[in-house]
Structure 1
Amino acid sequence: MTNGKLPILVFGATGRQGGSVVEALLRARWPVRAFVRDAGAPKSMALHDAGVELVQGSFDDTAAIRAAMRGTYGVFSVLPGNLVEEGEVRAGSAIADLAVESGVAHFVYSSGASAGEKLTGVARFDAKPRIEAHIRGLPITATIIRPMIFMEMLVRPGFGLDEGRYTFFLRPDQSMQLIAVEDIGKFVAAVFADKTRFGGKTLKIAGDSITGNDLEAIFTQAAGRPIAYGRFSEEVLSANPDLGHMAAGLDAGPLADHVDLNVMRAINPEVLSFRSWFSGSGRKTFDEILRQAAG
Structure 2
Amino acid sequence: MTNDKKAILVFGATGRQGGSVAKALLKAGWPVRALVLDATGTESLKLRNAGVELVQGSFEDRHVIHSAMRDAHGVFSVLPANLTAEDEVRYGIAIADIADETGIEHFVYSSGASAGDVLTGVPRFDAKPRIEAHVRKLPVTTTIIRPMIFMEMLVRPGFGLDQGRLISLIRPDQSIHLTAVEDIGKFAAAVLADKARFGGKTMKIAGDRVTGSELETAFTEAAGRPITYERFPDDVLAANMDLAHMAKSLEDGPLAEKVDLDAMREINPELLSLRSWLMSSGRRALEEALGTTGRR
Range of TM-score over shorter length: over 0.9
Helix, strand or coil at the partner of 1:285? helix
Residue 55 of structure 2 aligns to a residue in which SS?
strand
Aligned to 2:105: 105
Alpha-carbon separation, structure 1, partners of 2:141 and 2:72:
14
What residue in structure 1 maps to residue 244 of structure 2? 244
**Residue 23 of structure 2 contacts residue 185 of structure 2 at CA under 8 Å; is this kept in 1?**
yes
CA contact (8 A) 2:222 2:278 kept: no
Q: Which residue of 2 aligns with 1:7?
A: 7
Cα distance, 1:125 vs. partner? 2.4
Amino acid at match of 2:115: A
- Which residue does the alignment assign to 2:187? 187
**Structure 2 counterpart of 1:223:** 223
TM-score by length of 1: 0.95
TM norm structure 2? 0.95
The alignment covers a number of residue pairs equal to 293
What runs of 5+ residues in structure 1 fail to find an aligned partner?
none
CA distance in 2: counterparts of 1:88 and 1:113, whole angstroms: 16
Describe the SS at the equivalent of 2:34: strand
Q: Deviations over 1:113-136 (max 9, x none)?
A: 011112224443221001000100
Q: Label 1:189 to 1:224 Cα distance change in 2 as closer, same or farther (>3 A).
A: closer
The amino acid of 2:222's aligned partner reads A
| CA displacement at 1:292 relative to structure 2 | 6.5
Which residue in 1 is equivalent to 2:94? 94
What whole-Å deviation, never above 9, does each CA across 1:30-64 have from its counterpart, x for those lacking one? 11111111111111111111111111111111110
Is 1:281 matched up with 2:292? no
Q: Distance in 2 between matches of 1:4 and 1:272?
A: 28
**1:77 aligned onto 2:82:** no
- The answer to whether the Cα contact below 8 Å between 1:122 and 1:241 also exists between their aligned partners in 2 is no
- Identify the residue that residue 174 of structure 1 maps to in structure 2: 174
1:233 shift after superposition:
1.5
Q: Counterpart of 1:226 in structure 2: which amino acid?
A: P
The gaps in structure 2 that reach 5 residues or longer are none
Q: Which residue of 2 aligns with 1:146?
A: 146
* Root mean square deviation of aligned Cα: 1.7
What is the letter of the counterpart of residue 285 of structure 2?
Answer: T
Instruction: Give the equivalent residue in structure 1 for 2:155.
Output: 155
SS of residue paired to 1:278: helix
Deviation at 1:19, TM superposition (A): 0.5
More deviation, 116-125/7-16 = 116-125
1:201 aligns with 2:226: no
What is the match of residue 260 of structure 2? 260
Q: Distance in 2 between matches of 1:178 and 1:102?
A: 35
Q: Which residue of 1 aligns with 2:290?
A: 290
CA distance in 1, matches of 2:204, 2:236: 28
Structure 1 position 227, deviation (Å): 1.8
TM superposition shift of 1:286: 1.9
1: CA distance, partners of 2:98 / 2:222: 48
Residues 209-258 of structure 1, C-alpha deviations (whole Å, 9 max, x = no match): 11110111122233333222111121111111111111111110001101
Q: Give, in whole Å, the separation in 1 of the partners of 2:223 and 2:139.
A: 52
1:260-293 Cα shifts (integer Å, max 9, x gaps): 0000000000111110000013222222222279
